[in-house]
Chain A
Amino acid sequence: MTNHWIDIQNSDAVLIIGSNAAEHHPVAFKWVMRAKDRGAALMHVDPKFSRTSARCDFHVPLRSGTDIAFLGGMINHILEKELYFKEYVEKYTNAAFVVGKNYAFNDGLFSGFNAAARRYDKSMWAMETGPDGGPVIDPSFKNERCVINLMRKHYSRYTLKNVSDITGVSQDNLLKVYDRFCATGKPDKAGTIMYALGWTQHTVGVQNIRCSALIQLLLGNIGVAGGGINALRGEPNVQGSTDHALLYNNLPGYHATPNASWQTLAEYNKANTPVTALKNSANWWSNRPKYMTSLLKGWFGDAATPENDFCYAYLPKLEPGQDYSYMYVMDKMYHGKLEGGFIFGVNPMNSFPNTNKMRAALDKLDWLVCSELHHSETTDNWQRPGSDPKSQKTEVFLLPSAHRIEKEGTISNSGRWLQWFDQGVKPAGEARNFADIFVPLFNKIRALYTAEGGVLPEPILKMHWTEKFKADEWTKRINGFFWADTKVGDKTYKRGQLVPAFGALTADGSTSSLNWVYAGSYTEEEGNKSKRRDTTQTPMQAAIGLYPNWSWCWPVNRRILYNRASVDENGKPWNPERAVIAWENGKWTGDVPDGPWPPMADKEKGKLPFIMMKDGHGGFFASGPADGPLPEHYEPAETPLSSHVFSKQLSSPVYKFHSSDMDQVAPPADPRYPIVLTTYSLTEHWCGGGETRNVPNLLETEPQLYVEMSHELAREKGIQNGDGVIVESARGRVEAIAMVTIRIRPFTVMGKTVHLIGMPFAYGWTTPKCGDSTNRLTIGACDPNTTIPEAKACCVNLHKADTLTEIG
Chain B
Amino acid sequence: MPKSFLIDTTRCTACRGCQVACKEWKDLPANDTKQRGSHQNPPDLNPYNYKIVRFHEHLDEYGAVVWNFFPDQCRHCTIPLCKDVADRAVPGAIIKDSKSGAVLVTEKSAELGPKNAQAVINACPYNIPRLDPKTKRLTKCDMCADRIAKGMQPICVKTCPTGTMVFGEREEILALAQKRLESVKRRFPKAFLADVRDVNVVYLLAEEKEHYHEYAAFL
Would you call B41 and A701 a contact (CB within 8 A)?
Answer: yes
Residues of B within 8 A of A740 (CB): 37
Would you call B161 and A26 a contact (CB within 8 A)?
Answer: yes
Known: A33-B163, A705-B35, A722-B36. A51 touches B42 (CB 8 A): no
* B52-79 interface code vs A (CB 8 A; 1 in, 0 out): 0000011100001111110000000000
Residues of B within 8 A of A33 (CB): 11, 162-163
Instruction: For the complex formed, measure the closest distance between the CB of A25 and the CB atoms of chain B, giving whole angstroms.
Output: 9
CA separation between A508 and B81, bound complex, in Å? 81
Quick one: which of B157-209 are within 8 Å of A by CB?
A: 161-163
Would you call B37 and A721 a contact (CB within 8 A)?
Answer: yes
A59 within 8 A of partner (CB) = yes
Residues of A within 8 A of B58 (CB): 742
Would you call B162 and A701 a contact (CB within 8 A)?
Answer: no
A697 within 8 A of partner (CB) = yes
CA separation between A33 and B15, bound complex, in Å? 14
User: Which chain A residue lies CB-closest to B49?
Assistant: A700
Could you say which of A700, A702, A722, A737 contacts B31, with CB atoms under 8 Å apart? A700
CA separation between A629 and B87, bound complex, in Å? 77
Residues of B within 8 A of A723 (CB): 37
- Count chain B CB atoms within 10 A of each CB in A49, A697, A706, A737 and give the residue with the most: A697
B13 within 8 A of partner (CB) = yes
- Count chain A CB atoms within 10 A of each CB in B15, B29, B37, B161 and give the residue with the most: B37
A739 within 8 A of partner (CB) = yes
Would you call B64 and A58 a contact (CB within 8 A)?
Answer: yes
Would you call A703 and B35 a contact (CB within 8 A)?
Answer: yes
User: Which chain B residue lies CB-closest to A741?
Assistant: B57
A55 within 8 A of partner (CB) = yes
Would you call A742 and B161 a contact (CB within 8 A)?
Answer: no
Residues of B within 8 A of A90 (CB): none
CA separation between A53 and B69, bound complex, in Å? 13
Could you say which of A26, A696, A741, A743 contacts B15, with CB atoms under 8 Å apart? A26
Instruction: For the complex formed, measure the closest distance between the CB of B8 and the CB atoms of chain A, giving whole angstroms.
Output: 10
Would you call A696 and B30 a contact (CB within 8 A)?
Answer: yes
Would you call A706 and B161 a contact (CB within 8 A)?
Answer: no
Query: How many residue pairs, one in A and one in B, have C-beta atoms under 8 Å apart?
Result: 104
Would you call A54 and B69 a contact (CB within 8 A)?
Answer: yes
Known: A26-B13, A742-B59. A722 touches B23 (CB 8 A): no
Residues of A within 8 A of B66 (CB): 54
Would you call A697 and B57 a contact (CB within 8 A)?
Answer: no
Would you call A54 and B67 a contact (CB within 8 A)?
Answer: yes
B20 within 8 A of partner (CB) = yes
Known: A22-B15, A703-B35. A742 touches B65 (CB 8 A): yes
Could you say which of B16, B34, B37 contacts A683, with CB atoms under 8 Å apart? B16
- Count chain A CB atoms within 10 A of each CB in B13, B58, B67, B68 and give the residue with the most: B13
B38 within 8 A of partner (CB) = yes
Residues of B within 8 A of A245 (CB): none
Residues of A within 8 A of B65 (CB): 49, 53, 59, 742-743
Would you call B67 and A702 a contact (CB within 8 A)?
Answer: no
Would you call B16 and A684 a contact (CB within 8 A)?
Answer: yes
Instruction: For the complex formed, measure the closest distance between the CB of A149 and the CB atoms of chain B, giving whole angstroms.
Output: 39
Would you call B67 and A49 a contact (CB within 8 A)?
Answer: yes
Would you call B23 and A22 a contact (CB within 8 A)?
Answer: no
Known: A49-B65, A54-B67, A58-B64. A26 touches B36 (CB 8 A): no
Would you call A30 and B163 a contact (CB within 8 A)?
Answer: yes
Known: A739-B37, A743-B57, A743-B67. A701 touches B163 (CB 8 A): no
Residues of A within 8 A of B88 (CB): none
Known: A51-B67, A706-B35, A743-B65. A29 touches B14 (CB 8 A): no
Instruction: For the complex formed, measure the closest distance between the CB of B179 and the CB atoms of chain A, giving whole angstroms.
Output: 12
Known: A683-B16, A704-B35, A706-B37. A29 touches B57 (CB 8 A): no
User: Which chain B residue lies CB-closest to A58?
Assistant: B64
Residues of A within 8 A of B23 (CB): 697, 700
B39 within 8 A of partner (CB) = yes
CA separation between A470 and B94, bound complex, in Å? 55
Residues of A within 8 A of B38 (CB): 721, 739
CA separation between A737 and B15, bound complex, in Å? 21
B24 within 8 A of partner (CB) = yes
- Count chain A CB atoms within 10 A of each CB in B32, B59, B64, B161 and give the residue with the most: B161
Would you call A55 and B59 a contact (CB within 8 A)?
Answer: no
B98 within 8 A of partner (CB) = no
Would you call A51 and B57 a contact (CB within 8 A)?
Answer: no
Would you call B34 and A703 a contact (CB within 8 A)?
Answer: yes
Quick one: which of B1-40 are within 8 Å of A by CB?
A: 11, 13-17, 19-20, 23-24, 29-39
Residues of A within 8 A of B13 (CB): 22-23, 26, 29, 51-52, 54-55
Instruction: For the complex formed, measure the closest distance between the CB of B159 and the CB atoms of chain A, giving whole angstroms.
Output: 10
A699 within 8 A of partner (CB) = yes
Quick one: which of A710-755 are within 8 Å of B by CB?
A: 721-723, 737-743
CA separation between A325 and B161, bound complex, in Å? 37
* A14-53 interface code vs B (CB 8 A; 1 in, 0 out): 0000000011001101100100000000000000010111
Residues of B within 8 A of A722 (CB): 35-37
Residues of B within 8 A of A460 (CB): none
CA separation between A58 and B187, bound complex, in Å? 12
Residues of A within 8 A of B67 (CB): 49, 51, 53-54, 743
A698 within 8 A of partner (CB) = yes
* A273-297 interface code vs B (CB 8 A; 1 in, 0 out): 0000000000000000000000000
Could you say which of B20, B29, B34, B59 contacts A701, with CB atoms under 8 Å apart? B20
Instruction: For the complex formed, measure the closest distance between the CB of B41 and the CB atoms of chain A, giving whole angstroms.
Output: 5
Would you call A697 and B20 a contact (CB within 8 A)?
Answer: yes
CA separation between A706 and B68, bound complex, in Å? 20
CA separation between A26 and B18, bound complex, in Å? 12
Would you call A737 and B35 a contact (CB within 8 A)?
Answer: yes
User: Which chain B residue lies CB-closest to A737?
Assistant: B35
CA separation between A23 and B16, bound complex, in Å? 10
- Count chain B CB atoms within 10 A of each CB in A703, A721, A722 and give the residue with the most: A703
User: Which chain B residue lies CB-closest to A736?
Assistant: B35
User: Which chain A residue lies CB-closest to B23?
Assistant: A697
Would you call B11 and A738 a contact (CB within 8 A)?
Answer: no
CA separation between A130 and B92, bound complex, in Å? 92
Would you call B42 and A700 a contact (CB within 8 A)?
Answer: yes
User: Which chain A residue lies CB-closest to B161?
Assistant: A27
Could you say which of B24, B32, B64 contacts A697, with CB atoms under 8 Å apart? B24
Would you call B39 and A702 a contact (CB within 8 A)?
Answer: yes
Could you say which of B15, B34, B68, B161 contacts A704, with CB atoms under 8 Å apart? B34
Residues of B within 8 A of A52 (CB): 13
User: Which chain B residue lies CB-closest to A682?
Assistant: B39
Residues of A within 8 A of B11 (CB): 33, 55
Quick one: which of B89-115 are within 8 Å of A by CB?
A: none
Residues of A within 8 A of B32 (CB): 700, 703
Residues of B within 8 A of A706 (CB): 35, 37
Could you say which of A696, A701, A704, A738 contacts B19, with CB atoms under 8 Å apart? A701
Residues of B within 8 A of A721 (CB): 36-38
CA separation between A696 and B66, bound complex, in Å? 30
Instruction: For the complex formed, measure the closest distance between the CB of B37 and the CB atoms of chain A, giving whole angstroms.
Output: 4
Instruction: For the complex formed, measure the closest distance between the CB of A341 and the CB atoms of chain B, giving whole angstroms.
Output: 35
Could you say which of A55, A702, A807 contacts B41, with CB atoms under 8 Å apart? A702
Instruction: For the complex formed, measure the closest distance between the CB of A51 and the CB atoms of chain B, giving whole angstroms.
Output: 5
CA separation between A444 and B105, bound complex, in Å? 61
The 9 closest A-B pairs by CB, nearest first: A696-B30, A721-B37, A722-B37, A704-B35, A26-B15, A22-B13, A737-B35, A700-B30, A27-B161
Having A683-B16, A700-B23, one finds 5 other A-B pairs with CB under 8 Å, namely: A49-B67, A54-B67, A683-B14, A702-B35, A706-B37
Residue numbers of A with Cβ under 8 A of B are 22-23, 26-27, 29-30, 33, 49, 51-55, 58-59, 683-684, 696-706, 721-723, 737-743, 807
Q: What are 28 A-B contacts with C-beta separation under 8 Å? A: A22-B15, A26-B17, A26-B161, A26-B162, A29-B13, A30-B162, A33-B11, A51-B13, A53-B65, A53-B67, A54-B67, A683-B14, A683-B15, A683-B16, A697-B20, A697-B30, A699-B30, A700-B23, A700-B32, A701-B20, A703-B34, A703-B35, A706-B35, A721-B38, A722-B35, A723-B37, A737-B34, A743-B67
